[in-house]
C-alpha cells in the first residue's frame, strides 16, 4: 500500500509543478480553442483537457512503477527510494539548469517537435475528443517536474502505486493552472513570481519525505515480492 510519505510527496510535487506550469504551460492552455467558448461549455472542455493530461501522467506512472517492481524483486528498494528523494532535492537547487540538460539529450528536440506538431494539427479541430487528445499530448511534452514526479513514482515499486502517485501529482497541478485559465496568463505569471520561492521548498520537502521513507524501509517489500519456496511432501 502506498505510504503517507509517498502520498504527501506526490501532492507537494504537484503543487510545486503547478507554479512551474503557470509559466511553461499557461500560455499553451490559454491558446487552446476551447477558451473561446463562453459559459459552462468552456469549463467542461477545460476539465476534459486536464483529464487527458492527468491520465497520461497516470499511464506513465504505471509503466515506471512496473520498472520499480522489478527493482523491488532485486531487493534494492531502499536504495531506490533514497535515490529518488535525493534526485528531487538536487532538482530543487538546479531546476532551470535541469531543463537545459534535458533539452540537450540527443534526439529530444526531434521528439518535442513531433509532439508540438501533433498539438498544432489537433488545435484546428473541435469536440471533446480533440480536447482530450490535446490534454494527453500536453502530458507528453518535456517537463522537468514531470520527470521528478516519475522519480517519485518509481519508488512506489508497483504499477498501481506509480499510477496513483502520478494521479496525485496531476491533481496537485490543477489549482494554479485553473487560476491561469480564470485570471489569464499575466495574472498567473504574477502569482507564480510571488510564490517562486515556494517551488524549491516544496520539492525539498517532497524529496526529504522519500529519503525518510527509504531510511525506514526494511525487506518486507522484497519478501512479499518474492514467493517463498515451500516444502512438498510425497
Tell me how far apart the alpha carbons of residues 19 and 177 are, in angstroms, rounded to a whole number: 8
Task: Give the dihedral sign, CA 80/84/85/90.
Answer: positive
Other residues' Cβ atoms within 10 Å of the Cβ of residue 133: 19
Q: Which residues of 156-174 are buried (b: 16+ CB within 10 A; e: fewer)?
A: bbbbebbbbbbbbbbbbbb
Q: Is the pLDDT of residue 28 over 90?
A: no
Q: Residue 30: how many CA atoms within 13 Å on its side-chain side? A: 19
Q: Is the pLDDT of residue 221 over 60?
A: no
Residues 133-192 pLDDT 10s: 999 998 998 887 888 899 889 888 889 999 999 999 999 988 878 877 777 655 555 665
Question: What's the chain's length in residues?
Answer: 234
What pLDDT, on a 0 to 100 scale, did the predictor assign at position 55? 96
Q: Which of 75-79, 102-106, 219-223 has the lowest mean pLDDT?
A: 219-223
When pLDDT is averaged across residues 122-130 and rounded to a whole number, the result is 85
Contact 158, 65 (CB under 8 A): yes
Tell me how far apart the alpha carbons of residues 218 and 177 are, in angstroms, rounded to a whole number: 39
Residues 82-98 pLDDT 10s: 888 998 898 888 766 66
Predicted TM-score (pTM) of the model is 0.80
Residues 101-125 pLDDT 10s: 777 778 788 888 899 899 888 887 8
Amino acid at each position: 500500500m502506498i505510504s503517507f510519505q509517498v502520498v504527501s510527496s506526490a501532492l507537494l510535487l504537484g503543487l510545486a509543478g503547478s507554479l512551474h506550469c503557470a509559466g511553461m504551460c499557461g500560455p499553451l492552455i490559454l491558446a487552446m480553442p476551447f477558451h473561446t467558448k463562453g459559459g459552462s461549455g468552456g469549463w467542461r472542455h477545460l476539465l476534459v483537457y486536464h483529464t487527458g493530461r492527468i491520465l497520461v501522467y497516470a499511464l506513465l506512472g504505471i509503466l515506471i512503477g512496473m520498472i520499480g517492481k522489478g527493482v523491488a524483486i532485486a531487493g534494492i528498494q531502499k536504495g531506490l527510494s533514497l535515490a529518488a528523494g535525493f534526485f528531487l532535492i538536487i532538482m530543487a537547487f538546479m531546476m532551470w539548469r535541469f531543463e537545459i540538460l534535458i533539452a540537450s539529450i540527443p534526439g529530444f528536440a526531434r521528439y518535442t517537435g513531433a509532439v508540438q506538431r501533433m498539438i498544432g494539427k489537433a488545435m484546428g479541430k473541435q469536440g471533446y475528443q480533440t480536447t482530450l487528445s490535446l490534454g494527453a499530448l500536453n502530458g507528453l511534452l518535456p517537463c522537468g517536474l514531470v520527470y521528478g514526479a516519475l522519480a517519485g513514482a518509481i519508488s512506489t515499486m508497483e504499477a498501481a502505486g506509480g499510477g496513483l502517485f502520478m494521479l496525485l501529482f496531476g491533481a496537485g497541478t490543477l489549482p494554479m493552472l485553473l487560476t491561469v485559465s480564470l485570471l489569464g496568463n499575466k495574472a498567473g505569471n504574477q502569482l507564480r513570481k510571488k510564490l517562486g520561492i515556494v517551488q524549491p521548498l516544496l520539492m525539498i520537502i517532497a524529496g526529504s519525505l522519500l529519503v525518510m521513507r527509504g531510511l525506514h524501509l526494511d525487506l518486507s517489500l522484497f519478501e512479499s515480492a518474492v514467493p517463498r519456496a515451500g516444502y512438498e511432501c510425497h
